A and B are shown apart, each in its own frame.
Chain A
Amino acid sequence: MTSILINALKRLHITIAPQIRLSSSSVPAVAHNYNLNVEKKDWKFQPQYMKPREVWIENMDTIDEKKMGLIELHPDVFAASPRIDIIHRNMIWQSKYRWVSWAHTKTRAEVRGGGRKPHPQKGQGRARHGSIRSPLYRGGGVIHGPRSGTTHFFMLPFHVRVHGLSSMISIKLAQDDLHVVNNLELPTDESQYLEDLIEKRNWGPSVLFVDE
Protein backbone atom coordinates (compact mmCIF):
# COMPACT_ATOMS: atom_id res chain seq x y z
CA MET A 1 0.00 0.00 0.00
CA THR A 2 2.85 2.27 0.69
CA SER A 3 4.28 1.70 -2.77
CA ILE A 4 0.91 2.64 -4.23
CA LEU A 5 1.06 5.90 -2.34
CA ILE A 6 4.60 6.54 -3.44
CA ASN A 7 3.90 5.72 -7.07
CA ALA A 8 0.68 7.69 -7.09
CA LEU A 9 2.35 10.78 -5.80
CA LYS A 10 5.33 10.33 -8.06
CA ARG A 11 3.57 9.79 -11.34
CA LEU A 12 0.88 12.41 -11.04
CA HIS A 13 1.28 16.12 -11.30
CA ILE A 14 -0.88 16.99 -8.33
CA THR A 15 -1.78 20.40 -6.98
CA ILE A 16 -3.21 20.49 -3.49
CA ALA A 17 -5.20 23.52 -2.30
CA PRO A 18 -5.13 23.51 1.51
CA GLN A 19 -8.19 25.72 1.93
CA ILE A 20 -11.67 24.57 1.02
CA ARG A 21 -12.53 25.76 -2.44
CA LEU A 22 -15.84 27.49 -2.86
CA SER A 23 -18.03 25.26 -4.99
CA SER A 24 -18.85 27.09 -8.19
CA SER A 25 -22.52 26.54 -8.82
CA SER A 26 -22.40 28.08 -12.29
CA VAL A 27 -22.11 25.03 -14.53
CA PRO A 28 -20.74 26.09 -17.91
CA ALA A 29 -23.66 26.45 -20.30
CA VAL A 30 -21.48 25.96 -23.34
CA ALA A 31 -21.13 22.29 -24.18
CA HIS A 32 -17.45 21.46 -24.06
CA ASN A 33 -16.17 18.72 -26.23
CA TYR A 34 -14.56 16.56 -23.60
CA ASN A 35 -12.33 13.80 -24.78
CA LEU A 36 -13.23 11.43 -22.02
CA ASN A 37 -10.12 9.35 -22.26
CA VAL A 38 -10.16 7.75 -18.87
CA GLU A 39 -6.65 6.52 -18.31
CA LYS A 40 -7.17 2.95 -17.31
CA LYS A 41 -4.23 1.98 -15.20
CA ASP A 42 -2.76 -1.41 -14.69
CA TRP A 43 -2.57 -1.43 -10.96
CA LYS A 44 0.14 -3.30 -9.14
CA PHE A 45 -2.37 -3.93 -6.35
CA GLN A 46 -5.85 -4.21 -7.77
CA PRO A 47 -8.45 -2.18 -5.90
CA GLN A 48 -10.40 -4.90 -4.21
CA TYR A 49 -13.09 -3.37 -2.06
CA MET A 50 -13.78 0.03 -3.54
CA LYS A 51 -14.02 1.48 -7.01
CA PRO A 52 -11.17 3.70 -8.13
CA ARG A 53 -11.88 7.41 -7.86
CA GLU A 54 -11.91 9.46 -11.05
CA VAL A 55 -10.53 12.97 -11.16
CA TRP A 56 -10.49 15.58 -13.91
CA ILE A 57 -7.15 16.42 -15.46
CA GLU A 58 -6.89 20.20 -15.81
CA ASN A 59 -4.44 22.38 -17.68
CA MET A 60 -2.07 25.13 -16.65
CA ASP A 61 -1.76 26.83 -20.07
CA THR A 62 -4.64 29.24 -19.69
CA ILE A 63 -6.01 31.07 -16.70
CA ASP A 64 -9.43 29.48 -17.22
CA GLU A 65 -9.51 25.80 -16.53
CA LYS A 66 -10.02 23.31 -19.29
CA LYS A 67 -10.72 19.72 -18.56
CA MET A 68 -8.44 17.49 -20.59
CA GLY A 69 -9.58 14.08 -19.42
CA LEU A 70 -10.12 11.80 -16.52
CA ILE A 71 -7.68 9.81 -14.44
CA GLU A 72 -8.25 7.02 -12.02
CA LEU A 73 -6.87 7.11 -8.49
CA HIS A 74 -6.40 4.14 -6.22
CA PRO A 75 -9.02 4.04 -3.45
CA ASP A 76 -6.65 2.75 -0.77
CA VAL A 77 -4.73 6.01 -1.01
CA PHE A 78 -7.29 8.55 -2.13
CA ALA A 79 -10.46 7.15 -0.60
CA ALA A 80 -9.23 5.93 2.76
CA SER A 81 -11.57 6.48 5.67
CA PRO A 82 -10.15 9.62 7.25
CA ARG A 83 -8.83 9.07 10.75
CA ILE A 84 -8.67 12.47 12.42
CA ASP A 85 -7.00 11.07 15.51
CA ILE A 86 -4.15 9.65 13.45
CA ILE A 87 -3.79 12.95 11.62
CA HIS A 88 -3.60 14.62 15.01
CA ARG A 89 -0.91 12.18 16.15
CA ASN A 90 1.05 12.92 13.00
CA MET A 91 0.82 16.66 13.51
CA ILE A 92 1.94 16.38 17.12
CA TRP A 93 4.84 14.19 16.03
CA GLN A 94 5.88 16.65 13.33
CA SER A 95 5.95 19.55 15.74
CA LYS A 96 7.64 17.70 18.60
CA TYR A 97 10.24 15.28 17.28
CA ARG A 98 12.59 17.96 16.01
CA TRP A 99 12.30 20.28 18.99
CA VAL A 100 15.18 20.54 21.42
CA SER A 101 14.62 22.67 24.50
CA TRP A 102 17.61 24.86 25.25
CA ALA A 103 16.35 26.15 28.60
CA HIS A 104 19.22 25.78 31.06
CA THR A 105 19.86 26.63 34.69
CA LYS A 106 23.13 26.27 36.55
CA THR A 107 23.42 24.00 39.54
CA ARG A 108 25.27 24.97 42.68
CA ALA A 109 28.36 23.27 41.33
CA GLU A 110 28.30 25.28 38.10
CA VAL A 111 27.57 28.74 39.48
CA ARG A 112 30.74 30.77 39.73
CA GLY A 113 32.17 30.97 43.22
CA GLY A 114 30.86 29.41 46.40
CA GLY A 115 33.78 27.20 47.44
CA ARG A 116 34.43 28.75 50.80
CA LYS A 117 32.31 28.56 53.94
CA PRO A 118 30.90 32.12 54.25
CA HIS A 119 31.11 32.33 58.08
CA PRO A 120 31.97 29.93 60.88
CA GLN A 121 29.46 27.28 61.82
CA LYS A 122 28.90 28.43 65.37
CA GLY A 123 29.17 31.55 67.38
CA GLN A 124 27.83 34.14 64.90
CA GLY A 125 24.12 33.79 65.62
CA ARG A 126 23.50 33.29 61.91
CA ALA A 127 22.07 30.37 60.00
CA ARG A 128 24.66 27.79 59.10
CA HIS A 129 25.79 27.78 55.45
CA GLY A 130 28.48 25.95 53.54
CA SER A 131 28.61 27.97 50.34
CA ILE A 132 27.10 31.16 48.97
CA ARG A 133 25.79 29.31 45.90
CA SER A 134 23.56 26.82 47.65
CA PRO A 135 19.91 26.87 46.48
CA LEU A 136 18.87 28.64 49.67
CA TYR A 137 20.85 31.68 48.68
CA ARG A 138 19.78 34.44 46.34
CA GLY A 139 21.98 33.95 43.27
CA GLY A 140 22.57 30.33 44.14
CA GLY A 141 22.15 27.34 41.90
CA VAL A 142 18.84 25.82 40.86
CA ILE A 143 18.28 22.23 41.98
CA HIS A 144 15.98 20.47 39.54
CA GLY A 145 15.72 23.12 36.90
CA PRO A 146 15.70 22.66 33.14
CA ARG A 147 18.91 21.29 31.69
CA SER A 148 20.18 22.22 28.29
CA GLY A 149 19.58 20.00 25.31
CA THR A 150 16.36 18.29 26.39
CA THR A 151 15.08 16.23 23.50
CA HIS A 152 11.51 15.38 22.70
CA PHE A 153 12.42 12.98 19.96
CA PHE A 154 10.30 9.95 19.17
CA MET A 155 9.27 8.19 15.99
CA LEU A 156 5.72 7.25 15.12
CA PRO A 157 5.34 3.75 13.73
CA PHE A 158 5.78 3.63 9.97
CA HIS A 159 2.24 2.52 9.25
CA VAL A 160 0.72 5.17 11.48
CA ARG A 161 2.51 7.80 9.43
CA VAL A 162 1.42 6.21 6.17
CA HIS A 163 -2.15 6.02 7.44
CA GLY A 164 -1.94 9.73 8.34
CA LEU A 165 -0.75 10.63 4.86
CA SER A 166 -3.46 8.62 3.13
CA SER A 167 -6.16 10.02 5.47
CA MET A 168 -5.04 13.55 4.74
CA ILE A 169 -4.92 13.11 1.00
CA SER A 170 -8.36 11.43 1.03
CA ILE A 171 -9.72 14.43 2.89
CA LYS A 172 -8.21 16.76 0.35
CA LEU A 173 -9.80 14.85 -2.51
CA ALA A 174 -13.17 14.62 -0.77
CA GLN A 175 -13.23 18.35 -0.08
CA ASP A 176 -12.36 19.29 -3.69
CA ASP A 177 -8.95 20.59 -2.73
CA LEU A 178 -7.02 18.20 -4.94
CA HIS A 179 -6.43 19.10 -8.59
CA VAL A 180 -4.60 17.01 -11.13
CA VAL A 181 -2.96 18.84 -14.01
CA ASN A 182 -1.44 17.38 -17.14
CA ASN A 183 1.87 19.24 -16.88
CA LEU A 184 3.38 22.18 -15.04
CA GLU A 185 4.47 24.16 -18.10
CA LEU A 186 3.37 27.75 -17.97
CA PRO A 187 3.09 30.03 -21.03
CA THR A 188 4.79 32.99 -19.27
CA ASP A 189 7.45 33.40 -16.61
CA GLU A 190 5.58 36.05 -14.67
CA SER A 191 4.46 35.26 -11.16
CA GLN A 192 1.32 37.32 -11.74
CA TYR A 193 0.07 34.65 -14.16
CA LEU A 194 0.04 32.02 -11.43
CA GLU A 195 -1.62 34.37 -8.98
CA ASP A 196 -4.36 35.21 -11.49
CA LEU A 197 -4.83 31.53 -12.27
CA ILE A 198 -5.23 30.58 -8.62
CA GLU A 199 -7.53 33.55 -8.04
CA LYS A 200 -9.73 32.68 -11.01
CA ARG A 201 -10.01 29.00 -10.24
CA ASN A 202 -10.56 29.61 -6.51
CA TRP A 203 -7.84 27.24 -5.48
CA GLY A 204 -7.50 28.89 -2.12
CA PRO A 205 -5.10 31.13 -0.23
CA SER A 206 -2.25 28.63 -0.44
CA VAL A 207 -1.45 26.05 -3.06
CA LEU A 208 1.19 23.32 -3.06
CA PHE A 209 2.44 22.19 -6.44
CA VAL A 210 3.80 18.65 -6.49
CA ASP A 211 5.66 17.09 -9.36
CA GLU A 212 7.93 14.15 -9.80
Chain B
Amino acid sequence: MSWLPSQLFNVAWSPFRTIVRTVYHSEKTRLVRRYGYKEKIWCGGLLPRKEGKALPIPEYRPKNAWAQRRALFGQNDYIDILGPGNIHPVKTLYNVPAWIRGVSGNEYKILLRKRKMLAKIGMPSFSPTKWKNLQKRIAYLYRFLNRKTKTGMSNI
Protein backbone atom coordinates (compact mmCIF):
# COMPACT_ATOMS: atom_id res chain seq x y z
CA MET B 1 0.00 0.00 0.00
CA SER B 2 3.01 2.28 -0.18
CA TRP B 3 2.19 3.00 -3.81
CA LEU B 4 -1.12 4.71 -2.97
CA PRO B 5 0.24 8.09 -1.81
CA SER B 6 2.66 8.29 -4.77
CA GLN B 7 -0.15 7.45 -7.20
CA LEU B 8 -2.37 10.12 -5.68
CA PHE B 9 0.54 12.53 -5.91
CA ASN B 10 1.09 11.74 -9.58
CA VAL B 11 -2.60 12.23 -10.32
CA ALA B 12 -3.04 15.45 -8.38
CA TRP B 13 0.24 17.14 -9.29
CA SER B 14 1.08 18.82 -12.56
CA PRO B 15 4.63 19.64 -13.55
CA PHE B 16 6.13 23.10 -13.39
CA ARG B 17 7.53 24.61 -16.51
CA THR B 18 11.27 24.97 -16.22
CA ILE B 19 13.32 27.41 -18.23
CA VAL B 20 16.12 25.86 -20.27
CA ARG B 21 19.46 26.75 -18.73
CA THR B 22 21.58 29.21 -20.73
CA VAL B 23 23.93 30.43 -18.00
CA TYR B 24 26.51 27.88 -16.96
CA HIS B 25 28.64 27.77 -13.85
CA SER B 26 31.91 27.68 -15.76
CA GLU B 27 31.07 30.99 -17.48
CA LYS B 28 30.07 32.89 -14.36
CA THR B 29 32.35 35.63 -13.09
CA ARG B 30 32.60 37.45 -9.82
CA LEU B 31 29.93 40.02 -9.08
CA VAL B 32 30.67 43.25 -10.92
CA ARG B 33 30.30 46.23 -8.63
CA ARG B 34 30.26 49.83 -9.87
CA TYR B 35 29.63 48.73 -13.43
CA GLY B 36 30.88 51.28 -15.91
CA TYR B 37 33.86 52.75 -17.65
CA LYS B 38 37.19 52.36 -15.89
CA GLU B 39 39.93 54.74 -16.97
CA LYS B 40 43.24 53.09 -17.71
CA ILE B 41 45.90 55.09 -15.93
CA TRP B 42 48.78 52.85 -17.02
CA CYS B 43 48.81 52.22 -20.76
CA GLY B 44 51.61 49.68 -20.88
CA GLY B 45 55.29 49.94 -21.61
CA LEU B 46 58.24 49.55 -19.26
CA LEU B 47 57.33 49.21 -15.64
CA PRO B 48 58.71 51.76 -13.18
CA ARG B 49 61.90 50.63 -11.47
CA LYS B 50 63.57 51.51 -8.26
CA GLU B 51 67.24 52.36 -8.60
CA GLY B 52 69.37 49.23 -8.71
CA LYS B 53 67.10 46.24 -8.36
CA ALA B 54 65.00 44.98 -11.26
CA LEU B 55 61.44 43.98 -10.55
CA PRO B 56 60.95 40.34 -9.67
CA ILE B 57 60.15 38.19 -12.68
CA PRO B 58 59.05 34.61 -12.16
CA GLU B 59 61.74 32.08 -12.95
CA TYR B 60 61.13 30.24 -16.20
CA ARG B 61 60.62 26.54 -15.45
CA PRO B 62 60.09 24.62 -18.67
CA LYS B 63 57.97 21.52 -18.57
CA ASN B 64 59.88 18.26 -18.48
CA ALA B 65 58.77 16.79 -21.78
CA TRP B 66 60.26 13.42 -20.88
CA ALA B 67 58.78 12.97 -17.43
CA GLN B 68 57.36 9.53 -16.77
CA ARG B 69 53.79 10.67 -17.27
CA ARG B 70 54.41 12.45 -20.57
CA ALA B 71 56.89 9.98 -22.03
CA LEU B 72 54.65 6.97 -21.48
CA PHE B 73 51.43 8.69 -22.47
CA GLY B 74 49.04 6.35 -24.20
CA GLN B 75 51.30 3.38 -23.65
CA ASN B 76 48.63 0.74 -23.17
CA ASP B 77 45.79 2.26 -25.09
CA TYR B 78 45.87 -0.27 -27.92
CA ILE B 79 46.59 -3.25 -25.72
CA ASP B 80 43.47 -5.04 -26.88
CA ILE B 81 44.64 -4.78 -30.51
CA LEU B 82 48.38 -5.25 -30.16
CA GLY B 83 48.44 -7.34 -27.03
CA PRO B 84 47.31 -10.90 -26.31
CA GLY B 85 43.70 -9.88 -26.82
CA ASN B 86 42.20 -10.63 -23.43
CA ILE B 87 42.87 -7.19 -21.91
CA HIS B 88 40.55 -4.26 -22.54
CA PRO B 89 41.97 -0.72 -22.12
CA VAL B 90 39.41 -0.19 -19.36
CA LYS B 91 41.37 -2.67 -17.25
CA THR B 92 44.40 -0.33 -17.36
CA LEU B 93 42.60 2.51 -15.54
CA TYR B 94 44.28 1.78 -12.25
CA ASN B 95 44.12 5.19 -10.62
CA VAL B 96 40.41 5.69 -11.22
CA PRO B 97 37.80 4.76 -8.56
CA ALA B 98 36.07 1.45 -9.18
CA TRP B 99 32.65 2.89 -9.86
CA ILE B 100 34.00 5.23 -12.54
CA ARG B 101 36.22 2.75 -14.38
CA GLY B 102 34.93 2.28 -17.88
CA VAL B 103 31.55 3.93 -17.45
CA SER B 104 30.18 6.93 -19.23
CA GLY B 105 27.07 8.66 -18.06
CA ASN B 106 25.60 11.65 -16.37
CA GLU B 107 25.98 12.35 -12.66
CA TYR B 108 22.82 10.47 -11.71
CA LYS B 109 23.92 7.22 -13.33
CA ILE B 110 27.40 7.47 -11.83
CA LEU B 111 25.98 8.09 -8.36
CA LEU B 112 23.63 5.12 -8.60
CA ARG B 113 26.55 2.93 -9.51
CA LYS B 114 28.63 4.42 -6.70
CA ARG B 115 25.89 3.72 -4.18
CA LYS B 116 25.50 0.16 -5.40
CA MET B 117 29.22 -0.51 -5.13
CA LEU B 118 29.95 1.29 -1.87
CA ALA B 119 27.01 -0.21 0.00
CA LYS B 120 28.72 -3.57 -0.28
CA ILE B 121 31.90 -2.40 1.41
CA GLY B 122 30.05 -0.80 4.28
CA MET B 123 30.10 2.92 3.51
CA PRO B 124 26.92 3.57 5.57
CA SER B 125 28.80 2.50 8.69
CA PHE B 126 32.20 4.10 8.24
CA SER B 127 31.11 7.31 6.49
CA PRO B 128 27.52 8.08 7.50
CA THR B 129 27.54 11.79 6.59
CA LYS B 130 28.82 11.15 3.06
CA TRP B 131 26.34 8.30 2.66
CA LYS B 132 23.48 10.57 3.73
CA ASN B 133 24.62 13.26 1.29
CA LEU B 134 24.85 10.66 -1.46
CA GLN B 135 21.30 9.51 -0.79
CA LYS B 136 20.04 13.09 -0.72
CA ARG B 137 21.79 13.92 -3.98
CA ILE B 138 20.37 10.84 -5.71
CA ALA B 139 16.86 11.65 -4.49
CA TYR B 140 17.20 15.27 -5.64
CA LEU B 141 18.53 14.26 -9.07
CA TYR B 142 15.71 11.74 -9.50
CA ARG B 143 13.14 14.44 -8.87
CA PHE B 144 14.94 17.04 -10.98
CA LEU B 145 15.63 14.84 -14.00
CA ASN B 146 12.26 13.16 -14.08
CA ARG B 147 10.07 16.15 -13.37
CA LYS B 148 11.90 19.19 -14.61
CA THR B 149 13.92 18.03 -17.60
CA LYS B 150 13.19 16.16 -20.76
CA THR B 151 15.26 13.25 -21.95
CA GLY B 152 17.14 13.59 -25.21
CA MET B 153 15.87 12.56 -28.60
CA SER B 154 15.25 8.86 -28.87
CA ASN B 155 17.03 6.73 -31.44
CA ILE B 156 13.82 5.44 -33.01
Q: Please say whether chains A and B are actual partners in one complex.
A: yes
Q: Which residues on A are within 8 Å of B, measured CB to CB? A: 2, 5-6, 9, 93-94, 97-98, 100, 105, 107, 109-110, 142-147, 149-155, 158, 161-162, 165
A199 to chain B, nearest CB (A): 17
User: Any chain A CB within 8 A of the CB of B128?
Assistant: no
Instruction: Using A145-B25, A146-B26 as known contacts, say yes or no to A107 and B137 having CB atoms under 8 A apart.
Output: yes
CA distance A165 to B104 in the complex (A): 25
Q: Which residues of A contact B89 (CB under 8 A)?
A: 97, 155
Question: Do A110 and B110 touch (CB < 8 A)?
Answer: no
Among A144, A145, A154, point to the contact of B104 (Cβ < 8 A). A154
Q: Which residues on B are within 8 Å of A, measured CB to CB? A: 21, 24-26, 73-74, 77-78, 80-82, 89, 93, 96-97, 100, 102-105, 107, 110, 114, 133, 136-137, 140
Most A Cβ at <10 Å: residue of B80, B96, B140: B96
Instruction: Using A100-B100, A151-B105 as known contacts, say yes or no to A158 and B25 having CB atoms under 8 A apart.
Output: no
Q: Which residues of B contact A100 (CB under 8 A)?
A: 96, 100
Residue in A closest to B114 when the chains form the complex, CB atoms: A149
A186 to chain B, nearest CB (A): 21
Question: Do A105 and B25 touch (CB < 8 A)?
Answer: yes
Which 6 pairs across A and B sit closest by C-beta, in order of nearness? Answer: A145-B25, A153-B104, A94-B74, A147-B107, A94-B77, A149-B100
A43 to chain B, nearest CB (A): 19
Question: Do A162 and B81 touch (CB < 8 A)?
Answer: yes
CA distance A6 to B84 in the complex (A): 10
CA distance A79 to B51 in the complex (A): 66
Q: Which residues of A contact B133 (CB under 8 A)?
A: 109-110
Report whether over half of chain A's contact residues are helix, strand or loop; otherwise say mixed.
Answer: loop
Residue in B closest to A94 when the chains form the complex, CB atoms: B74
Q: Which residues of A contact B103 (CB under 8 A)?
A: 151, 153
A102 to chain B, nearest CB (A): 10
A88 to chain B, nearest CB (A): 14
Q: Which residues of B contact A6 (CB under 8 A)?
A: 81-82
Question: Do B82 and A9 touch (CB < 8 A)?
Answer: yes
Q: Which residues of A contact B93 (CB under 8 A)?
A: 98
CA distance A36 to B102 in the complex (A): 50
Instruction: Using A145-B25, A153-B104 as known contacts, say yes or no to A161 and B81 having CB atoms under 8 A apart.
Output: yes
Q: Which residues of B contact A150 (CB under 8 A)?
A: 107
Question: Do A144 and B25 touch (CB < 8 A)?
Answer: yes
B93 to chain A, nearest CB (A): 6
Residue in A closest to B74 when the chains form the complex, CB atoms: A94
Q: Which residues of A contact B107 (CB under 8 A)?
A: 147, 150
Instruction: Using A107-B137, A161-B81 as known contacts, say yes or no to A153 and B102 having CB atoms under 8 A apart.
Output: yes
Q: Which residues of B contact A2 (CB under 8 A)?
A: 81
Question: Do B78 and A165 touch (CB < 8 A)?
Answer: yes
Question: Do A144 and B24 touch (CB < 8 A)?
Answer: yes
Question: Do B104 and A109 touch (CB < 8 A)?
Answer: no
A183 to chain B, nearest CB (A): 21
Residue in A closest to B83 when the chains form the complex, CB atoms: A6
CA distance A200 to B28 in the complex (A): 55
Instruction: Using A109-B137, A150-B107, A151-B105 as known contacts, say yes or no to A5 and B77 having CB atoms under 8 A apart.
Output: no
B155 to chain A, nearest CB (A): 17
